[in-house]
Structure formats: C-alpha cells, structure tokens
Chain A
Amino acid sequence: MLVARSLTKTFTSGAHPLTVLRDVSFDVPDGAFVAIVGPSGSGKTTLLGLLAGLDTPTSGEVLLDGAPLHRLDEDARAKLRGDKVGFVFQSFQLIPTLTALENVQVPLELRGDRGAAARARGLLERVGLGARLDHHPTQLSGGEQQRVAIARAFANHPKVLFADEPTGNLDGATGDNIVALLHELNRDEGTTIVLVTHDAALAERTQRVLRVRDGALVEDRATQAR
C-alpha cells in the first residue's frame, strides 16, 4: 500500500540547509495499523506529510497504492487524496461553518458522489453521533469533534488513513475511545492506518512501530498487540 524509498527532506533555514529527514525507507502492507513515533522535532510530522502527499521530498520516492506521489503535481495529489486517503488531525480540523453531517459529506461531494448524505449519516451513526447531525463544531465536545473527523476520514472508503496525534487534544478516556474506534474501522473496513504519535503507550496498541529520531528511522518492529 505505502512504499517509502530513501526519503530525504531538506529545508533552507537562513543560509544553512536543514535536513529533517534522512534516507528513510520502509513498506506498509494493505490493512496494516502502523505507528510512527518520535520526540518533538524528530521529523515524524514531516514524514507523515510526505507519505500523505501533502509535501514533496527533496529526494527519494513515495508510492501510495502504486501511484508515485513524488512525480504528481499538487492537483493530481489532491485528487488522489480525495479518492484514496483519509485524514484525522490533532486539532480535528473540521470546517467551522458546516454541520457535522456537512463536514462528513465534503470528500464525497468533491468526488461528485450522489449518495453523499446517506453515507455521511450512516458513518455518523456508526461513530455514535446520529443525534448530532445538524450541530456545528462549536457545539460539540473535543471527543465528539474527533469522531466527526474520523467519520469524515472514512467517508470515501480510503485505502489509507493518516492520523496525526489524534488523541493529542483529548483526555485519557476519550482518547481511548478514539483509538478503539480506529481499530474497529481498521478491522471492519480493511483500511491501512498510519498513526503519528509521541505517546509510546498508544504506539504499542498498534501492530507495528516505526521510530524516528533526528530524521532517521532507528527502529522498525512489530508490537505485542499484533
């Protein structure tokens, strides 16, 4: 599903180049639930951005479901995201002017999907928010917003879902519920999940851990949960 080959990302900071990722390579098979861990500034968010096609590498390759992301322009990557990728963010990133139902419908409507409303309604009921369809994000708690975000992420039957610190802004119990939901959807939908976190305990609840430190991949192992 996901192939990273010799990924390197360098930024220019003032007059000096700053390499935040150095020669990272790994494969992620279909249906896997993988965690990328590392301390703040390790390069894990950068790596996530490259894998999801939100950014382009300085060198190296990323293949997402066979498509070479590094060779596509921004609009082509956007189309690919709309077809095959879901996102869950730390700060939820719901569109504040839309209701819960409308937020979930967005990726379906962008593809011109006629059954968008019905699918969105089903997903929200699946995540336990069947009674909050017409509520705006400001009317929902943090946990509820993240569940809407998860429903949105699964709306277009993504091949791969990227979650960036999905429990970072939530309390312990709510975070646990979110992770459980992700597991459930991974199992039932068969979606590959790549989760970025600095929380080691959360990482151990996935099937495989990729540890990043100082821009390099220092560990790649299966977890006990597998």
Chain B
Amino acid sequence: MLALLRLAWRESRTARRKLLLYMSSIALGVAALVAIDSFAANTTRAVREQSRAILGGDVAISSRQEYAEPVVTLLDSLRGAGLPIAEVTTFASMATIPSSGNTRLTQIRAVSPGFPLYGDVVTRPAGVWPALADGPRALVDPALLIALDAEIGDSIALGYARFEIAGVITQIPGDPGVAATVGPRVFIADRWVDSTRLLTFGSRAEFETVIRLPEGTAPGRWIAPLRPRLRTGGVRVETVVQRENDLADGISQLSKFIGVVGLVALLLGGIGVASGVHAFVQRKVETVAILRCLGATGWQVLLVYAVQAAAMGFVGAAGGAALGVAIQYALPSLLGDFLPVDVTITIEPTAIAAGIALGVWVAVVFALRPLLALRRVSPLTTLRRDAALIGAARRSDPASWAVTAALALSVVFLAVARADTLEEGFWFTIGIVVSLGALAASAGAMVVVARRLSRGPWPYVVRQGIANLHRPANQTTSVVIALGFGAFLVSTLVLVQANLLKQFDATLATSRGNLLFFDVQEDQRDGVSALVRDAGATVLQTVPIVTMRISSIKGMESAAYARAAGLPTNYWALRREYRSTYRDTIVATESVIRGAWTDAPPDPTGAYALSLEREVAENLRLELGDEVVWDVQGVPVRTRLTSVREVEWGRFEPNFFAVFPTAALRGAPQQHVVLAAVSADTTVARLQRNAVARYPNVSSIDLTFIRGTVAQIVQRVSSAVRFLAIFSFAMGVPVLFSAVAATRRDRLRESVLLKALGASRAQVGRILLSEYAALGVLGALAGMLLSFGGAWALLRWVFELPFDAAPAAALGIAALMASMALVIGFLTSRDVFRVTAMEALRE
C-alpha cells in the first residue's frame, strides 16, 4: 500500500497543477458552505449569549390592549415579591419639530425605569439614557434627526407634549438595525405618555412587560403555573428559551437557504471535476499501459490515480475552506442589519471540517466515474498503437454501478441534509436533477444542431469551430451545464427581484389614494376632511373603525369552539382584537367569492349580515350561515356569515377582515381613517404638518414614505442578492476553466496541423472564436430559458404573484455569461497562437 502511495505521489509530478485546476471547481462550493455554516454557528452562539438582552428579560408578557385586571394584579404581586420588572409601550405617532414644522411618522417607545433589564443602551452623547426618566426628554434614532433636519437639543412634539431631544440611540439590545428603516424610533419615559394624549380610544399600541428572574431559575418552569391566569387575560407569554429557539430556527432557515447556493456550487464543481478527470484519464492511458505490463493490476492502477484525485480534492477543498473563512468575516456587513444580535466572528472548526470532508467526498465520487475506465486500459497499447486504448465497459460492472449509486445517493443526501424535511429535500433533489437534465438535454440538442450546421454554407473557419462542438471527446455538455447553471441561478434571482418590485409598484400605482390619516377621533373627522379639501386635494374615503373581539361562534365560547373545530386553544384568530368597519357596499379592493353581499336588516333571529375575508373565514373554519357573536366594547352584536371576500391587501387603501352593515355598528364607539388623493409632494408635506399642528394625535402616512422605506429595505436585501448573484456567476468560472482546459491538448494538436497545412494565426483565432461564441451563446441562452421557468415557479407557488419575463435583464445576464465563456476559452487556448507547425514534425 505504501508503495502504491509513493508511486501515486511520484507519478503525479507533472499532473498536480492540472488536477488542482479541476479540483478548484469544488472550492467555491466548499467556501460557501463553510462561510454560511460558520456564520450560522457564530450567530446562534450570539443568540444564546445575548438572548436575555434580545427579549429584554427572562420572561416577556405582551398584549395589543391594556392589561386586564387579573394580569395587573399578578404583575403587582410579582413586583411586591421583589422581582425586577420593566415595561415598554410602543405605538405610532407623528413627531414634529415645532421650529421648522418638519414632521415624520415614528415609533414611540415609552419605557419604564429599569428598562432594559439586560444589555446596555449606547447613546450619543454617552450616558444620557438614565436621564430619560428625569424630565420630558427623548432619545431618537440617528435617521430621524436627518429626516426631520433637527439637532440634539431641539424640541420635538409628540402629540400634545413637547420633549427635548437629549441624544441619539446608537445601540439598544434586541432590535435589528433594519427596524429603524421601517419606522424611526423615539424613546421617552412612560410617565410622559399621558401628557401626549396619544393613547386615546381606538389607538393601536403594543404593551410589553419584561421580568428578570433570580439567577438559576428556569423561566419555563417558573411561568408554567401562571400561564392559565395570563391566558384568561388575553396576553402573550414568551420565555427567553422560546425566543432563543425561535431565533435559532430563523437563523437555521437563513443558513439553509444560502447553503442551497453553496450546495449547488459544490455539485456543479463535481461536474467540473468529472469533466477534467475524464480528459486526464485520456492522457494517462500510455502510462497505465506500461504499469499494466510491469505487473500492476487494474485495481492497483485505479488506486494510484484515485489517491491523486483525493489528494488534490483535499487541497482544493482546503483552499475553499480558507476562502469560506474569509467570506465569513464579510457576512456581518451584508446580513448584520437583519440580525437582532451583535455577532463576533470566530473560527468554527466543525463547519470547516465538515466543508472539507464534503468537498473531498464530492471530488472523489465525481472523479471515480471517469477513473474507473483506467482498469480497462490494455497493456497491448505498449506494443500496438492501433489497439483500443480503453476496453469497452462491461454492462454488469459492479464497481461502475456502485460508483453511480454513490453519486446519486450523495446528491440526495446533500439535498436532504440542507432541507428542513425529507419531502423538501426530495423536491430539491428533483429540482437539481430536472435543471441539470434540461441543460444536458440542451447540450445534446446543440451537438445535433452543430453536426448539421457544420455542413452548412458557412465559411470554413466557422464550420470548423462549430464542428468542435460535436467532435469525439468534446466538452459541450460540461461547458453548457456550467455556463447554463450559472446563468440560470443569476437570472432567476434577478427576475424574481424585478418581478417583486414591479408588482409592488403596480399595486401602488393602482391605489387611488396617496395619503392616509389614522387615529382620527369621531369629533375630528370633519375637520381633517376639511383640511384636505382646503388644500385642494380630494377625500376619497372616510372609513370608520370599530374595535371588537369574538365572543362566541355557533353558540360556543371561543375556547369550546376551538376544541370543537380542532384549533389551538389560544388561536390567534379567536383571541385577537379585530378592527372592523361598517358600510353598505363593497369597495374596489374587494370581490365577493362566496355568498352575496347584503345590507338587509337583521334576520328574524336578530343577527346582522357579516362579510369576512377569505383567509380569516378559512382559519376560523366558518361556513356561510354560521353565527358569530362579537363583543363590541362590552356590547354583544350577533351576526351571521353571509359573504366571503377576496381582498387585495397590497393596495394602499383601508381593508378589513370583517365588514358589517351600517345598521349594526353605526352607534358603536369608533375612530376613523381618512384616505386622500393629493397631487403634489409639497401639498402632502404641508397637509401632514397642518394636520398634526391642529390635531396632534392624528398620524398620517404617505405613499412616498412607503415607497422610500421599501426601496431602502430592498436596497439592503439587494446587496445580499447581488452577492449571491456574483457568487453564482463566479461558480461557473473554475468549472468552465476545467472543462475548456481538458481539451487544450487536442486544440494545440489541431492548431499545429492546421498551420502545417497553411492556416494563418488569424484563421486559427476565428475557429476558436466560432467555437466559444457558439458554446457561450447557446449555453447562456439555455440557462436563461430555464430561469424563466424557475422564476415563474417561484413567483407562482411561493409568492403567489404573476410572472413577467423581463427579457432585457435576462438577456443582459446571458450576454455576460457568454462573454465569460469567450474570455475563458481564449485565455485557456492562447498557446494555439504560439505553437508552430514545426511541432508536427517533432511528433
């Protein structure tokens, strides 16, 4: 065995660079897997270390309404027992700089003393957080200062109260950076909330209480006896362990998604390895024949070259792992905004070892297939040049079947290992097989077409170049797969992103209004409408909003109904506060899909007609004719389901889960939203300022703000998408190099003979150009067409949106990939210009 290893090492002297080139195909795949697995491990560790700071305590209780009496009593008793408890109330409101009139929709976070119970708040200037409770002071997100064109020390109006901007928050536990993009935050002490008069009837707010437990207390066990009391109060309870697990799951999902790209890169690299080793085998036939003459068995020969492949595979994988570690350091800048923790990057030996092992396995299993042929090299080749160099394969070769089975099982195993479920892994495997199969079939079709075209009326140099696509031992299949798959991935990413943005723009374009006022009280409705009209804008809708909860369904209380319908006891649709409206017609954003819209008087049983949105009706397992009793601020209202609506939630207009006839809720306590159509941006800004000046509790949101917010978020996501796209693009490079380099010797020989027969360097160059242009264009187009299918499937089944081909973007990517093929082809074949016809004589 040692002798064979020595022979393998010695015999590889002139082949190491080539083998390394072939094995570099797997390096990128290993790099991606090592990078994302290491980053996921780093992030999961950070979550576990910082989970208390993320949650704000060991246990968090939250609700969308003020706590019921039992909950308040319980919390008071816990405070009395000496447990540290802090509270945060979060709600939306306009913030205004009185001196300039600049106004912006913000998230107000009113915190109690002692918040946060874990972690540190970093401010600028430093150390101002504790002073928040001392007076009417506010700490804001840096982006808000810019948006309001304000400075530290300025006065900021929140509702009817004014605060001094004491500083900016640069870091606070638990919030990912991207949250500030969605809504810039203003932190005030909770004792000033009443003075703002912003939390009035119908206002939406999130009430949260966090509790710090004594060291060593298991939060789950501690809260368990208290859960029944909290459940009756309608609050949500979360422990630090639950938050840890939820975040860890989320990180796992992200790593699985990005890991898919790495996995695909690895498999593509395996194809590059197979292609390169196939050509390597052809070059080694004479040496193998000599070894066979000298007494080497077929298995000894196979072992020698398999060891070479494994060694180079290890070097390639190790190089990939090193690259992966480097990429790992770049990932926080790409993904950091979306994470709720600060991630410290450390080397993760497990991820590195797993990546290298996987890389070596893929390299060996893909190299073995072509290497098996070495067993059939005839020693007669040493005597007779016309002997068949490699004997025909036997159909019943167990080794060949075993390697093929190992290859197939490897693909399935890798897919299942990265997926959440066996089914998902199965579908992923199918996806890979179908994509690669489609590309291989395209390559096959290309060979047939090339055979026909090479007899066509084209100039000789074109015919000769295209003939290289179908000649024996051509690399058309591996080049088309490498190019096509890269084009497929990049194109799919770009198409999906383009379609999502286009759909968003189209949805906004069909929205009639562009400015929405909310938290408008009953006695402010006419005033706000008048403000809109005075500004020359149009009031499109004035929509009443009535808050309510489900009291019973089909005569059963919520808990009993949940049990009967097979729903979880604390099911969100049964527990939530509904913000419903009343009107006598449907609106443009809805369509009735079951039953019929009616504004008829109550039926003989006294039940009003009820119209529900489709998903809520399905979630509640309701059918037409079912009775639902609502608790409308203490008053029961009986309804019967008479219609189900499909709602276009994406439109910028008020939409509702439940709609009642006017007679049912006209007298109920309510607030309003006012939807306006405003022609100019300056009018929008002026209207917002005027509204908040006259009615400080009224907030407004304009379409420009939404578009800008989405654009900012998309910009950040785009960076990650662009990185994935560049990675996918780069994935094809080593595989292409490998496939093209494999035919370099044939190309040189051909060039020498052509020159001996009278071809000029320019003619040789044009032959090369024809070949690689044909390969590049056809391969990239095959990938592009496949990407239309992939993007359509993703948009149809995942995003449930229509598909627009966006040909310009896809063609651009195809052109880029085709150019890459040309460049790589010429780079690898540049020796054809250098060799002279004299080489033919020497041979």
Contacts and interface: CB of A to CB of B under 8 A. Distances in A.
Interface of A: 45, 48-49, 54-55, 74-75, 78-83, 85, 87, 89, 93-98, 102, 106-107, 109-112, 116, 152, 156, 164
Interface stretch (B379-387, B700-708, B750-758): B379-387
Given A54-B379, A87-B293, A97-B14, 17 more contacts: A48-B383, A49-B383, A78-B296, A78-B298, A81-B294, A82-B294, A93-B382, A94-B290, A95-B291, A97-B10, A97-B11, A97-B12, A97-B13, A109-B6, A110-B291, A156-B295, A164-B383
Interface in B141-198: none
Contacts of B300: 110
B7 interface: yes
A49 B293 CA distance: 11
A75 B298 contact: yes
Contact of B380 (A55, A116, A156): A55
B433 interface: no
Interface string B380-398: 1011100000000000000
Interface size for chain B: under 10, 10 to 19, 20 to 34, or 35 or more residues?
Answer: 20 to 34
Nearest to B296: A110
B606 to A, nearest CB: 94
A60 B559 CA distance: 93
22 contacts: A45-B383, A54-B382, A55-B380, A75-B297, A78-B295, A78-B379, A79-B297, A83-B295, A87-B382, A93-B382, A95-B290, A96-B287, A97-B11, A97-B13, A97-B15, A97-B287, A98-B10, A106-B294, A107-B295, A110-B291, A110-B300, A112-B3
A152 B378 CA distance: 20
Main secondary structure of the interface of A (DSSP, over half): helix
B296 A95 contact: no
A107 B291 CA distance: 8
Given A75-B298, A78-B297, A78-B379, A95 B6 contact: no
A87 B294 contact: yes
Interface in B287-316: 287, 290-300
Given A87-B294, A97-B14, A102-B10, A110 B383 contact: no
A93 B290 contact: yes
Nearest to B382: A93
A49 B380 contact: yes
Interface in B259-300: 286-287, 290-300
Contacts, number: 83
Contacts of B384: 45, 49
Interface of B: 3-4, 6-7, 10-15, 286-287, 290-300, 378-380, 382-384
A152 B291 CA distance: 12
A54 B11 contact: no
- For the complex of A and B, the 8 pairs showing the least CB-CB separation, nearest first, are A82-B295, A109-B3, A75-B297, A107-B294, A97-B13, A54-B379, A81-B295, A54-B380
Given A54-B383, A109-B3, A110-B300, A98 B295 contact: no
Given A54-B383, A89-B383, A110 B295 contact: yes
Given A45-B384, A49-B383, A79 B14 contact: no
A96 B379 contact: no
Contacts of A94: 290
A25 B422 CA distance: 67
A152 B294 CA distance: 9
Given A96-B14, A106-B7, A74 B294 contact: no
A74 B390 CA distance: 14
B292 A78 contact: yes
Contacts of A80: 295
A198 B384 CA distance: 16
Contacts of B295: 78-83, 85, 107, 110-111, 156
A45 B384 CA distance: 8
Contacts of B294: 81-82, 87, 106-107, 110, 152
Interface centre among B14, B286, B296, B298 (most CB of A within 10 A): B296
B224 to A, nearest CB: 69
A110 B10 contact: no
Contacts of A96: 14, 287
B740 to A, nearest CB: 24
A74 B299 CA distance: 11
B379 A98 contact: no
A89 B7 CA distance: 22
Nearest to A75: B297
Contacts of A98: 10-11
A211 to B, nearest CB: 19
Nearest to B11: A97
Contacts of B11: 95, 97-98
Nearest to A114: B3
A89 B385 CA distance: 13
B105 to A, nearest CB: 73
Contacts of A79: 295, 297
Interface centre among A93, A94, A98 (most CB of B within 10 A): A93
Interface centre among A45, A54, A55, A87 (most CB of B within 10 A): A54
A175 to B, nearest CB: 19
A106 B378 CA distance: 18
A87 B292 CA distance: 11
Nearest to A106: B294
A42 B380 CA distance: 17
B14 A106 contact: no
A114 to B, nearest CB: 9
A74 B380 contact: no
A109 B15 contact: no
Nearest to A90: B383
Given A87-B382, A93-B382, A106 B291 contact: yes
A56 to B, nearest CB: 10
Nearest to B12: A97
A81 B12 contact: no
Contacts of A102: 10
Nearest to B391: A74
Contacts of B299: 75
Interface centre among A75, A80, A89, A164 (most CB of B within 10 A): A75
Contacts of B293: 54, 81, 87, 93
A95 B15 CA distance: 13
B7 A109 contact: yes
A81 B295 CA distance: 5
A83 B296 CA distance: 11
A100 to B, nearest CB: 12
Contacts of B14: 96-97
B393 to A, nearest CB: 14
Contacts of A156: 295
A115 to B, nearest CB: 12
A82 B296 contact: yes
Contacts of A106: 7, 291, 294
A107 B293 CA distance: 9
